Amino acid sequence: MPPVLAFIELTRKCDLLCMHCRASAGMDSNAPELALSRVAEFLGALKSESNRNIHVIYTGGNIALRSDIVDFMKLSRSLGMTFSLSPSPSSLVNTDFLKAAKDNGASSMSVSIDGVESTHDRIRGVSGSFHHAIRILDQAKAMRLPVQVNTLVAGETVSELPKIYGKLVEMQVPVWELFFLINTGRGDSMQDLRPQEMEDVIHWLVHLSRNIRIRTVEAPFYNRVLVSPCETIRYGNLYKYLHGMSQTPANPEDHHPPTGLHRGKTIFLASDGNVFPSGFLPVSLGSVDGKGLPPALKEYMRNDFSFPRESIGPECSLCPFFDLCGGSRARALAYTGSHLSSDPGCIMCSEFPVIKQSLHNGRAVEYEH
Ligand code: SF4
Ligand code: SF4
């Protein structure tokens, strides 16, 4: 059974100022920080309530700003849980941080790259961040600390995806996780892709997934394309651009099967102790208050799906791929005001007249260089 992925937001302080930050993090953040005892209580209760493996992901803000970050690593281990680290690509992720991650058994560490050189630095709001991302990858590789690269997919980054892919191949990064923009927090003013453009990116990623392990965040229709590319295939100009710019096509003699399904159920413990299905979906599942897991979270954990099928909009709930996908509840909320609407980013939904009207009016994406 897929694991429960428990994201723990240790802080909202961050030495970067990313354009897309859902948490609007920065060094001037006044948000509270989670104490070790509170996280221990939460994870302990989660373990006793769930029959699934729990994988913890420490995220922020920049978790490298927490002087007690090693205590959180040790906590996961003491509870028998695997853990990953998601620090911000900055000078704070130094040799000591990486060594502590390695010595305490981190399963992996994510490093964000949103473009090449100046594009990345512009998106991340601090010059030199790209340099640190590459340095961190190099140092982690030398220490044999497993890594993955995370990349934002938005109008501002999409034209550089082939260059990032080329860099990952060159650096032998095994996992590429692509986060499709949700217009929330500071990301509210960024450019989202149109459904056809998302479809093009997804088809391209499925193609690449024979060379590199692909995961998507907030684009669950990747699973639809993965299992049934022929039924839904319809390439647009963006696919042709991405495919034409990729210098390393799949080698049928040396590939693994396409990857991406069964990532697991996510839970997000925010820095103020509130629990949500994800950091992009502020639908309350209660808060951690010393009395065990809140009832809404227990109910959420019991169900196979995050939300009952019959409560979801018709385009998604009637879709033959619902069990594999279900649509992004976060994008539904950002576009329609209801997390139970169908996913307006999916090309299958976009062809339903009921929501076609509200889609991406007037947003243009520049990728034909
Ligand atoms: S590194 Fe992460 S937490 Fe920091 S500003 Fe960027 S998106 Fe926000
Ligand atoms: S219609 Fe909804 S459930 Fe079906 S593939 Fe699209 S987003 Fe997923």
Q: Write the single-letter amino acid at 326.
A: G
Residues 337 and 349: their CA atoms lie apart, in Å, by 16
| Rounded Cα gap, residues 138 and 140, in angstroms | 6
Residue scoring higher pLDDT (33 or 321): 33
- Band (239; pLDDT cuts 50, 70, 90): very high
Q: Which ranges of the chain does DSSP label H, i.e. alpha helix?
A: 36-49, 69-78, 95-103, 118-124, 129-143, 161-170, 195-208, 222-227, 229-232, 237-245, 295-302, 314-317, 329-336, 347-350, 353-356
DSSP label of 131 = H
Tokens 């281990």 belong to which residue?
A: 77
Query: 302 Cβ partners below 8 Å, 6+ apart?
Result: none
* 262-274 per-position pLDDT tens digit: 556 899 999 999 9
Q: Which pLDDT does position 71 carry in this prediction?
A: 98
Residue range 4-245, CATH number: 3.20.20.70
Phi then psi for 141, rounded to 5 degrees?
Answer: -60, -45
pLDDT on residue 149: 98
| Pocket lining for ligand 1, CB < 6 angstroms | 14, 16-18, 21, 23, 25, 60-62, 88
Three-class secondary structure of residue 82 per DSSP = strand
Instruction: Say yes or no to pLDDT of 359 above 90.
Output: no
Q: Is the pLDDT of residue 323 over 60?
A: yes
Q: Is the peptide bond before 166 cis (omega within 30 degrees of 0)?
A: no
Number of separate helices (H) and strands (E) present in the chain = 15, 9
pLDDT tens-digit readout, 44-100:
999 998 888 999 999 999 999 999 999 999 999 999 999 999 999 999 999 999 999
188-203 pLDDT, tens digit each: 999 999 999 999 999 9
Q: What is the mean pLDDT of the chain?
A: 89
Cα Rg of the chain (Å, integer): 20
Residue 322 Cβ inside 6 Å of ligand 2? The answer reads yes
Q: What separation in angstroms does the CA of 8 have from each of 54, 61, 183? A: 12, 11, 22
- The answer, yes or no, to whether residue 365 has pLDDT greater than 90, is no
Of 33-37, 175-179, 232-236, minimum mean pLDDT range: 232-236
Q: What is the pLDDT of residue 237?
A: 92
Domain ranges of the chain: 4-245
Proportion of the chain above pLDDT 70, given as a percent: 87
Ligand nearest, relative to CA of residue 187: 1
**pLDDT confidence of residue 233:** 59
Which of 225, 328, 349 maximizes ligand 2 atoms within 8 Å of its Cβ, making it the mutation to test the pocket?
349
